[in-house]
């Protein structure tokens, strides 16, 4: 018996150890878990809470037993929570609710309570078991999401855009008020309808293509397109969503019509109503892209003697004459041809073969026949002629510009051959064009490889016989072609825009060379019209002066009147900025233009340089001598230095001295020379006159 009792005691002790271990595990689980387990009596009175409750709320477990737990609940949540609890007690069913607990530090935090009954076999409730779980982050996120959705809805309703949202099955899940009116008024569509059921005629259109593109790529698609069932236009932005598409669109019909009208106006020549240069270039580009499918030709036309009409009869008559010419041209071209006025008396035609098979040669002849009869303007009979250059597209053309330039070269040849000529671009012209293009590339490389250099032609002070300064002249020694004339490569540099970079290099080199001369000697540099169109030219000139360390008054910038022919106000502003900085401005090639006198009145030049064509006539043309004498007197009256170019003989120099000219420049007074030679010449004893014709290192021109 004693042994039996001992066995029972051991069994009982083991069971008690298991119970204690389970109790310890339970309490550890409660304390370590983020959930708070609790237990209540059948009537709902709280019977048990873990220590974590006290840690969170600051209330002891004893205070919260029974109904004391209410003290830890936010006042706004007490009654709703009690109602849910009473409902569970009366029905004996599970329940859950969210409410806010007052934390130890006074903060409010959302928790979720869940409760379930343990029932006896007869269905009566033995205990209520529940848990509390922190739900604060979830509730905050849900509230933020609700606010975000509400805000988004307000935005979508307030926007002037029409907004339609649909799922991947094309079923409409949302429309704002704008879209609802738009779709319902036209197709009686509503939320829940399938888009293509409402718009079956739009299947296969740009709409479906772009919608599917957005779905497939996951990237927004923006496009404009016309409405199939009307002449209206829509601007659509299709944005993929996680569930389908959101389409934002607006009716741009009126905007499109206004824009098209402006584009049409912008692409038309105001005087003749023909296509202008912009529309011509666009049409030529499109035709060039399809040249493999059909031949494309360009015809360029210049009216001969039109300038004389303007000069003698006036611009109003000239304008009316251009309109009549345009009408005759329109009657001569085919339906598929594009006729444009490029400006002034320049016209162009893009010719594409038509059904009648008319060739570009036949079209050129027909256009030339337009001038067979006189034009009558205001009762005046005007006889005109034209020069025409033509070019056909070929595989050698790399761009539409090549085709245009080919026609331009042919036009130039037609002008050279006399009035009323038609010339077609041929292989010989192509070779010359290719050589020109090659030279452009070589010129671009020449500046980098140091093939360009400067030479300097002395400027002789006639009264004292001393060298007053020098003009910097650029030279190019090509590695295979040898010396290339500036008359060939300077226009190329201007065409390509390289003249700006080249001009900066010339300025820097010339100023650095002048820094090695006596301080009273000037350096003259030619400025291209292309350079002066850049409003930063004054800053770049001042940089060259500062870098070399010479005074601005030692630099003379030489311009021709072509600088002032276009954008004269803006260019004069640039010249004024240079002059205010202390730089001297000279008007070069005086006497060869049409308006030199007016330019002298509009801008206070520091120097007037007479063109060499007048100096060459000294001693042989009293008229030229009278012009030179008058120009010198005018220059002196306006306090300008007067310089005569092209002085080749002692007789010319003596005549200029006798007639009061300030400076002379030419082979007699000094040929262009290398930098070292001009430096030696400048650094001779101050005031020593130079021997006429002295040239230590002639370069030639």
Q: Which of 525, 587, 579 is nearest to 562 (CA)?
A: 587
Question: In the chain, how many H helices and how many E strands?
Answer: 25, 26
Number of domains in the chain: 5
Q: Do 245 and 301 share a domain, yes or no?
A: no
* Beta strand extents in 578-688 (DSSP E only): 584-590, 607-610, 641-645, 663-665
What does the DSSP assignment read for 61-124? HHHHTBTGGGGGB-HHHHHHHHHHHHHHHHHT--EEEEEEEE-TTS-EEEEEEEEEEEE-TTS-
Mean pLDDT value of segment 404-415: 87
Mean pLDDT value of segment 66-94: 91
Tens-digit pLDDT profile for residues 188-210 = 889 999 999 999 989 988 899 99
In a domain, residue 191? The reply is yes
Of 221-230, 394-403, 444-453, 592-601, least confident by mean pLDDT is: 592-601
Q: Do 23 and 91 share a domain, yes or no?
A: no
Dist. CA 376–CA 325, nearest whole Å? 11
Q: Do 75 and 173 share a domain, yes or no?
A: no
Tens-digit pLDDT profile for residues 217-231 = 999 999 988 888 788
Tens-digit pLDDT profile for residues 304-359 = 878 778 777 888 998 999 999 999 999 999 888 999 999 889 999 999 876 566 78
Domain stops at, among 227, 253, 279: 253
Q: Do 58 and 117 share a domain, yes or no?
A: yes
Q: Do 560 and 587 share a domain, yes or no?
A: yes
371: CB partners within 8 A, 6+ apart? 383, 384, 385, 386, 420
* Beta strand extents in 446-552 (DSSP E only): 452-461, 467-478, 482-484, 522-526
Using the CB atoms, write b or e for 384-393: b if 16+ within 10 Å: bebbbbbbbb
In a domain, residue 150? The reply is no
Q: Do 340 and 272 share a domain, yes or no?
A: yes
Name the packing angle between helices 675-682 and 498-514 (round to 10°).
40
Dist. CA 539–CA 102, nearest whole Å? 72
The CATH number given to whatever domain includes residue 575 is 3.20.20.450
- Please report the pLDDT score of residue 504 as a whole number: 94
CA distances from 521 to 135, 428, 552, 582, 677 (A): 89, 49, 12, 15, 15
Q: Do 27 and 43 share a domain, yes or no?
A: no
**Is 429 a residue whose pLDDT tops 90?**
no
Backbone phi and psi for residue 389, each to the nearest 5 degrees, phi listed first: -120, 135
Dist. CA 328–CA 317, nearest whole Å? 17
Average of per-residue pLDDT values in the chain: 85
Mean pLDDT value of segment 271-279: 89
In a domain, residue 347? The reply is yes
| CA-based torsion, 291, 293, 297, 298: positive or negative | negative
Dist. CA 526–CA 509, nearest whole Å? 13
Dist. CA 11–CA 419, nearest whole Å? 133
Helix (H, G, I), strand (E, B) or coil at 22: helix
- Please report the pLDDT score of residue 696 as a whole number: 41
Domain span at residue 8 reads: 1-32
CB 248 within 8 A of CB 162: yes
In a domain, residue 444? The reply is no
Q: Which two tokens stand for residue 77?
A: 């949540």
In a domain, residue 145? The reply is no
CB 407 within 8 A of CB 389: yes
Tens-digit pLDDT profile for residues 598-607 = 666 777 889 9
Q: Do 654 and 562 share a domain, yes or no?
A: yes
Dist. CA 165–CA 246, nearest whole Å? 4
Q: Which of 285, 214, 275, 223 is nearest to 245 (CA)?
A: 214
Q: Which contacts (CB < 8 Å, 24+ apart) does range 306-310 have?
A: 306/344, 306/345, 306/384, 307/345, 309/382, 309/384
**How many CB atoms lie under 10 A from the CB of residue 335?**
8
- DSSP letter assigned to residue 691: P
Q: Do 415 and 545 share a domain, yes or no?
A: no
Q: Do 22 and 46 share a domain, yes or no?
A: no
Dist. CA 133–CA 130, nearest whole Å? 10
For tokens 């584009």, name the residue. Answer: 263
In a domain, residue 432? The reply is no
**Is 428 a residue whose pLDDT tops 90?**
no
The CATH number given to whatever domain includes residue 410 is 3.30.70.270
Residue 695: pLDDT band with limits 50, 70, 90: very low
Domain stops at, among 220, 253, 286: 253
Pairing of strands 338-343, 346-351: antiparallel
Please tell me which of 243-257, 388-402, 452-466, 617-631 the model is most confident about, judged by mean pLDDT: 452-466
Q: How far apart are the first and last CA of the chain?
A: 142
Q: Do 223 and 238 share a domain, yes or no?
A: yes
Exposed / middle / buried, residue 437 (Cβ in 10 Å: 0-12, 13-18, 19+): middle
In a domain, residue 289? The reply is yes
Tens-digit pLDDT profile for residues 10-53 = 766 666 656 565 555 555 555 555 678 999 999 989 998 888 88
Q: Do 588 and 642 share a domain, yes or no?
A: yes
The CATH number given to whatever domain includes residue 190 is 3.30.450.20
What percent of the chain has pLDDT above 70? 86
In a domain, residue 214? The reply is yes
């Amino acid at each position: 018996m004693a042994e039996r009792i001992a066995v029972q005691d051991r069994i009982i002790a083991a069971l008690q150890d298991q119970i204690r271990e389970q109790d310890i595990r339970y309490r550890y689980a409660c304390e370590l878990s983020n959930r708070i387990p609790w237990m209540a009596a059948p009537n709902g009175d709280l019977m048990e809470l873990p220590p974590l409750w006290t840690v969170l709320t600051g209330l002891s477990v004893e205070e919260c037993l029974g109904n004391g737990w209410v003290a830890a609940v936010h006042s706004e949540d007490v009654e709703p929570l009690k109602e849910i609890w009473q409902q569970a007690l009366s029905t004996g069913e599970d329940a859950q609710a969210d409410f806010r607990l007052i934390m130890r530090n006074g903060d409010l935090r959302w928790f979720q309570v869940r409760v379930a009954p343990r029932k006896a076999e007869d269905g009566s409730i033995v205990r209520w078991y529940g848990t509390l779980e922190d739900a604060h982050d979830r509730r905050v996120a849900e509230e933020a999401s609700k606010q975000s959705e509400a805000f988004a809805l307000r935005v979508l309703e307030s926007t002037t855009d029409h907004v339609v949202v649909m799922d991947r099955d094309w079923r409409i899940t949302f429309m704002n008020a704008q879209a609802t009116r738009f779709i319902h008024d036209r197709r009686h569509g509503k939320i829940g309808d399938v888009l293509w059921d409402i718009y079956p005629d739009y299947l296969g259109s740009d709409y479906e293509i772009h919608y599917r593109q957005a779905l497939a790529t996951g990237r927004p698609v923006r496009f404009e397109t016309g409405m199939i069932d009307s002449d209206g236009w829509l601007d659509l932005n299709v944005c993929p969503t996680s569930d389908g598409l959101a389409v934002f669109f607006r009716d741009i019909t009126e905007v499109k019509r206004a824009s098209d009208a402006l584009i049409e106006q912008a692409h038309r020549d105001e005087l003749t109503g023909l296509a202008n240069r912009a529309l011509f270039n666009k049409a030529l580009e499109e035709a060039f892209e399809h040249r493999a499918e059909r031949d494309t030709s360009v015809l360029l036309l210049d009216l001969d003697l039109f300038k004389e009409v303007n000069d003698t009869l006036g611009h109003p008559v000239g304008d009316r004459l251009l309109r009549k010419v345009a009408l005759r041209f329109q009657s001569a071209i085919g339906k598929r041809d594009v006729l444009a006025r490029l400006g002034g008396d320049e016209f162009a035609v893009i010719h594409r073969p038509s059904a009648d098979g008319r060739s570009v040669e036949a079209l050129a002849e027909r256009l030339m026949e337009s001038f067979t009869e006189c034009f009558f303007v205001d009762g005046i009979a005007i006889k005109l002629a034209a020069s025409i250059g033509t070019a056909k597209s070929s595989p050698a053309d790399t761009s539409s510009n090549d085709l245009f330039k080919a026609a331009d070269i042919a036009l130039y040849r037609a002008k050279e051959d006399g009035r009323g000529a038609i010339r077609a671009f041929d292989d010989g012209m192509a070779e010359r064009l290719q050589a020109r293009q090659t030279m452009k590339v070589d010129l671009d490389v020449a500046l980098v490889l140091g093939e360009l250099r400067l030479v300097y032609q002395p400027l002789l002070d006639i009264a004292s016989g001393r060298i007053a300064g020098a003009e910097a002249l650029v030279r190019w020694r090509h590695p295979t072609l040898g010396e290339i004339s500036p008359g060939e490569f300077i226009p190329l540099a201007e065409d390509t825009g390289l003249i700006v970079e080249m001009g900066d290099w010339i300025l820097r080199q010339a100023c650095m060379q002048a820094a090695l001369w006596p301080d009273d000697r000037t350096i003259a540099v030619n400025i291209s019209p292309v350079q002066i169109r850049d409003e930063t030219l004054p800053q770049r000139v001042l940089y060259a002066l500062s870098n070399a360390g010479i005074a601005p008054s030692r630099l003379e910038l030489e311009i021709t009147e072509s600088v002032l022919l276009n954008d004269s106000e803006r260019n004069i502003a640039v010249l004024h900025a240079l002059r205010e900085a202390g730089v001297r401005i000279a008007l070069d090639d005086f006497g060869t233009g049409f308006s030199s006198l007016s330019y002298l009145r509009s801008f206070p030049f520091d120097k007037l340089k007479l063109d060499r064509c007048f100096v060459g006539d000294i001693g042989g043309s009293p008229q030229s001598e009278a012009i030179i004498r008058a120009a010198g007197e005018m220059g002196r009256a306006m306090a300008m230095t007067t310089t005569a170019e092209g002085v080749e003989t002692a007789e010319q120099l003596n005549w200029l001295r006798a007639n009061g000219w300030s400076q002379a420049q030419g082979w007699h007074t000094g040929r262009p020379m290398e930098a070292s030679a001009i430096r030696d010449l400048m650094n001779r004893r101050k005031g020593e006159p130079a021997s006429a014709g002295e040239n230590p290192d002639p370069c030639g021109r």
